[in-house]
Structure 1
């Protein structure tokens, strides 16, 4: 098949802009980091709602004033996950997050009571959205704040996770293109067993070596574990999002990135891997 130069230029330009925005958000300072994931959180929720409306007619018929509240509750959770020593008008930031979650949650419950045949679908998909999207991005924000003595281990873990996801996707694509023959899953027919396994191994090796020689050799265990989570759980995240899209009958979750899909398409691996990395950093490296 001949290369479509216009499509190739569009995809390349979009990818470069995406990388620049991501790096700026991740690296400029803590507030650019938080702002980046607030935007990602909101974009993921919008796409998630569109997909669920295609999957569930009951959810699609529900009152928009009720179904829009879960993402507001999710925003409250993200605010709650910000540094607790940050204050607005002498109020701790987490207090604002708690109030948004409480008020949004109460309004959601009251709105759900008014629904009849749509009630179960609303509760089910709202709960799944909070677990799938808001929990993940809230913990990603909280991960940024975790320190071990004076070392910002949470920040290192967060950057390592994002980098590992990118490396894993690239390695799996390259290995799969070169030697891939065996289909990995019916959910994602383009993935091959050889590409998934080979790419995952190369991801762990590459990230671990880069971290050891260029970052901090004392954190080798962290680089190995985070890259392994990105490779294994990240792949499952990709399959999960593919399954949701298949149920909805769409190719892409959105079109905010021309030629690359939507927010969920770009962050499907990261969104599932983030909670696992948070648990590892908080309960292993930060406490042991």
Structure 2
């Protein structure tokens, strides 16, 4: 037995993984039988790529719920491909419960991650049903209990002479969960921010793969990295510029559709997902000034773009520069086990993991990018807006409480009287004329005084109205403030009651759990353990 195992080991001391069979459709094999292997691979990859892109368009058309189901399917398939490699390498050791525990931990981790997501998105629906409400309330405790059960099962499965190998496979499973489940969770989070955050990054990675392959196929001369000898600098650079241009164009097209830019939300009334909103500033056309050298070259002073197009440059650059390192990482993993592909699910492309090795790294970057540069900026803008609004309100209230007479100052009306020239000698006719002038001025002065009194009365009435309005507004503010205090007090009392109820339920559950555990331990202690067989 040992000799058979040694004969199957490679140079690295590990058993070799059997190469997957060729699953290329028979129709393609017959149609391309006369071509060389290089061009045959070209046509197989091209035809299957077009088929996958068409399928991608179809699931986008079907909506967010189908996209989420596809993400979960891809996650499970990638996990299965990686675990299958480990099982193929070490199945000759007959490790107990390896695949069973691997799938059990996948269930536990998915329950932990997606349980909270379901609670957040379907909160009203979850609260309607009592079983779902209990699962949501004790979600983390149930997740911990499930994982603890798997942990104990692993400890009980340890076999002498295979301790190191079993712990190695335990780490294998957990690293696989970290790579696959966590990243797929990020993908779904990105999808809830808006389908554009899901489609554009994935499309950029796909475009980079295609264009890098095409540039490398026709112009590739300089090897890029030893882990993947077929990758060339020509393909890397060509894929970079092609992906940036593609990302800008795709972002321009998608930013004009609410179906793509609005967050995915669950409508509790219709019990379905809806994608409808007022697009944010990120998806509204704005004018941007061009640099001087571009202005002299194009003749334009400004260019009209969506702000998301600028963000798409960062996404495209990451997909082209850092994204391939996910593929290089996968290439190193496959070289360690002397395999070409993770599986042969897609003819000409390998397994699902071969197509998504870069996508998982891209999903993490997009999630971090949204949290760092999109969500944080939105929170900051909302905070500044609230501060400005509160400042405006306070200034308005200050103006209301100030003296109203300051806003309507009265100017004293001066009355000037004309006196006759000193050099003139009044004649009888002149004196009578002067008398008429003086009487006329006195009459006009009386009219001015009456008008001034009327103005003062109007100003006084206006001040009284302002004061009454101010008192009414103040009374309304006090009433609103008191109502807010009452609502806050009622909310605190309700929260305290719910907390007391929750504590009582937890205490009841703990007592029942401890009672059951004591009964189990008592039953186990009453039994006599069988003696070990003689060595």
- TM-score by length of structure 1 reads 0.85
For 2:342 and 2:143, how far apart are their aligned partners in 1? 27
Matches within 5 A, 1:20-39: 20-39=54-73
The residue number in structure 2 matching 1:135 is 182
Using the TM superposition, give the Cα deviation of residue 103 of structure 1 relative to its aligned residue in structure 2, in angstroms. Answer: 4.3
**Could you say if the C-alpha distance between residues 178 and 29 of structure 1 is closer, same or farther in structure 2, counting changes exceeding 3 Å?**
same
The residue number in structure 1 matching 2:100 is 65
The residue number in structure 2 matching 1:45 is 79
Matches within 5 A, 1:122-161: 122-146=169-193, 152=194, 155-161=195-201
Contact kept in structure 2, 1:254 and 1:261, CA below 8 Å: yes
Q: Does 1:209 align with 2:242?
A: no
Between 1:68-77 and 1:170-179, the stretch displaced more is 68-77
Matches within 5 A, 1:216-255: 216=283, 217-255=306-344
Contact kept in structure 2, 1:165 and 1:270, CA below 8 Å: yes
The residue number in structure 1 matching 2:121 is 85
The residue number in structure 2 matching 1:149 is none
Larger RCO (alpha carbons 8 Å, 6+ apart): 1
The residue number in structure 2 matching 1:187 is 227
For 1:20 and 1:33, how far apart are their aligned partners in 2? 14
The residue number in structure 1 matching 2:214 is 174
CA RMSD of aligned residues (A): 2.9
Report Cα offsets for 1:234-274 as digits up to 9, x if no partner. Answer: 20111111111112221111122233211101111101211
The residue number in structure 1 matching 2:372 is 283
For 1:125 and 1:59, how far apart are their aligned partners in 2? 16
**Could you say if the C-alpha distance between residues 6 and 223 of structure 1 is closer, same or farther in structure 2, counting changes exceeding 3 Å?**
closer
Report Cα offsets for 1:175-211 as digits up to 9, x if no partner. Answer: 2223321111111111012211331232123212332
**Could you say if the C-alpha distance between residues 262 and 59 of structure 1 is closer, same or farther in structure 2, counting changes exceeding 3 Å?**
farther
**Could you say if the C-alpha distance between residues 52 and 202 of structure 1 is closer, same or farther in structure 2, counting changes exceeding 3 Å?**
same
- Structure 1 residue runs of 5 or longer lacking an equivalent are 147-151
- Structure 2 residue runs of 5 or longer lacking an equivalent are 1-33, 256-282, 284-305, 378-535
For 2:41 and 2:235, how far apart are their aligned partners in 1? 25
For 1:178 and 1:6, how far apart are their aligned partners in 2? 15
Contact kept in structure 2, 1:181 and 1:192, CA below 8 Å: yes
For 1:58 and 1:101, how far apart are their aligned partners in 2? 33
